[in-house]
Amino acid sequence: MLPELANGDFVIVSRFFWALNQGDLVIAEHAKYQRIIKRITQCSKTKGFLLSGTNKASVSTADMGWISPQKIFGKVLLTIKR
C-alpha cells in the first residue's frame, strides 16, 4: 500500500461495520496472500469485493480475484504514520 501506508505504520480497524463501499480501506483474509490491506475498487452483491493497492507493484486485482464478505476481517478507520 505504499505510499499510502508504509511498513511500521499503524491502522485502527473496526471488525464491526454496517456497510462497505467502493474506496473503503479494508483488511481481508486471502488464501494465497494471507492478511492484506487493500482498497475496495468494486462491490457486487453476488460476488463480493474486488480489492487493489495504491502501488503499481501491488498484487493485482486479477491475481486476488473476488473476495467474499466473510473474508473481510475489518474496515480501516484511521491510519497513523510512523
Q: Each residue of 19-51: pLDDT tens digit?
A: 999 999 999 999 999 999 999 999 999 999 999
**Total-model pTM:** 0.91
Is 55 within 8 Å of 1 (Cβ atoms)? yes
Average pLDDT, the chain: 95
Q: How confident is the model at residue 3 (pLDDT cuts 50, 70, 90)?
A: confident
Please say whether the structural domain 10-80 has been given the CATH code 2.30.30.
Answer: yes
Where exactly are the structural domains of the chain? 10-80
9-36: burial string, b at 16+ Cβ within 10 Å, e else: eeeebeeeeeeeeeebbbbbebeeeeeb
Return the pLDDT at 18.
Answer: 87
Strands 48-52 and 34-44: antiparallel
